[in-house]
Every structure is written in C-alpha cells, then in structure tokens.
A = this chain, B = another copy of it.
Amino acid sequence: MPNTYQKIPLPVIKRLPRYYRHIVALHQNGVETISSKMLAARLGTTASQVRQDFNCFGGFGLQGVGYNVQLLVRELEKLLFSGGELSAVLIGAGRLGRTMAHFLDVQAKGFKLVAAFDHDPEVIGRLLGNVPVQHVENLVEFCKEHTPQIAMLCIPEKSAADLAPLLPELGITGVWNFSNYDLSANLTGIAVENVHIGDSLQSLGYRVHSPAE
C-alpha cells in the first residue's frame, strides 16, 4: 500500500506518527470531523502544512467540510501498519538496549524482536521476553539464516562506526540507532532513525540555563 506513493519527502514521513497520535486522541474524545485549521492549531503548525502533508497521500478527504476523523485514523493505520510485521535484532543488550527492545517488542505495533547480541558474558544468556542474548560473534550467521529487517544499535559510538559498513551485507534495511554515532550520512539503501537521547537532554539543559530564546 505505501508503495503507491513515490518519493514522499522524509520530513512528511517523520510527521506521520505525530498526526496519527493526535488523530487517535481526537477519535477517542469523540471528535467526528476536524478542519485542517483546527488540526494545525493542535499540532502547533499551519493549516497549509497539514493540507500539503495529507496531499502527499491523496488528501484524505474533501476540502471545505473538514476531515472525517475515523477515516483519517483508518488511512494513517493503513500507511503505518499495513506492511506486515518487521523482525528486529538488538545489538548491544545493556540497560538502554534491553529497555528499547522491550519497547519495540511489547509496546510498539508492527515489530517483533527475534534476536539480541552482546559481547558481555554478564548479559549473554539473559532473556528478553523469550529471546536469549547471544554472543555477537553469531550475528552474521543469524542474519544470513533469518534475514531480519531491522537492527537496533545500542552500542558505543566506536562500535557503531565499526559495524556500520557491515550492515548492508547483513541484509538490514532499517536501523534504529541509539548510539552516539551518526549513521545517516554513510548508508545508502538503508533507512536510519538516529535517536540521540543525549542530544535532546543537552539542548534542554542549554535552554534551561539561558531562557532568553
């Protein structure tokens, strides 16, 4: 289904989950229709931005009468979740890795954790759900055999830099990257989401110290 729409700009794709969250909340509150203007106000953006974004996917409704909220929920779910479950491997099963693997496997929709890897003997053998942490030396063979689509990187910057050139060979097509290493620039044909938790905290600290912004 999503393949119908070629070349959706990346910023639009990144905004889809936020639209979805807000529209689900509206639906749960019993709202039946909403104008692009009201939706934009709720999201802190402009009506023209909302319309442009939705037009990338065919528009989701008639102008002038507002969007049908239930229809929007359905269309966004088709876009976000109709592609089938994606299998994911965790690389780096420390504290952050285990928490994020749990999030992906249990709280998120459309993803399944199929393996976890680390090199720390303290962590190897530990269960994440029913997935035991394996030694990272098994990673290549596992990927060859099971062709997981997503790699979650929860490893130090240096290890991520070393691993990056191997990812295409492993057949990985999406990386959820929590390492400090910026993956995006160097990988072609692989979708990357860098989640730099430390960056958000540092910029928060800056803003608290200098509230003039």
User: CB-CB < 8 A to A14: which residues of B?
Assistant: 199, 203
Query: A16 and B203 in contact (CB under 8 A), knowing A95-B102, A99-B96, A157-B25?
Result: yes
A71 lies within 8 A of chain B by Cβ: no
- Interchain CB contact under 8 A, B198 and A100: no
A79 lies within 8 A of chain B by Cβ: yes
**Bound Cα distance A13, B104 (Å):** 30
* Most chain B Cβ neighbours within 10 Å, of A100, A149, A150, A201: A201
Shortest distance from the beta carbon of A17 to any chain B beta carbon, whole Å: 4
User: CB-CB < 8 A to A203: which residues of B?
Assistant: 13-14, 16-17, 193
* Most chain B Cβ neighbours within 10 Å, of A42, A157, A206: A206
- Interchain CB contact under 8 A, A212 and B157: no
User: CB-CB < 8 A to A100: which residues of B?
Assistant: 197
Shortest distance from the beta carbon of A163 to any chain B beta carbon, whole Å: 16
Number of residues on chain A facing chain B (CB within 8 A): 72
User: CB-CB < 8 A to A193: which residues of B?
Assistant: 200-201, 203-204
Stretch at the interface among A107-115, A117-125, A138-146: A107-115
> How many copies of this chain does one complex carry?
2
Interface 1/0 per residue, A187-205 and B, CB below 8 Å? 0010111011111111111
Shortest distance from the beta carbon of A207 to any chain B beta carbon, whole Å: 4
Shortest distance from the beta carbon of A168 to any chain B beta carbon, whole Å: 13
Q: Which residue of B lies closest to A173 (CB)?
A: B208
- Interchain CB contact under 8 A, A185 and B44: yes
User: CB-CB < 8 A to A99: which residues of B?
Assistant: 95-96, 99
- Interchain CB contact under 8 A, A200 and B176: yes
Stretch at the interface among A2-10, A60-68, A129-137: A2-10
- 24 pairs from A and B in contact (CB 8 Å cutoff): A3-B210, A5-B212, A8-B212, A10-B207, A13-B203, A16-B203, A16-B206, A17-B203, A20-B202, A21-B199, A43-B182, A79-B206, A86-B209, A95-B102, A107-B198, A108-B198, A110-B202, A111-B201, A111-B205, A150-B204, A173-B211, A174-B207, A176-B200, A192-B204
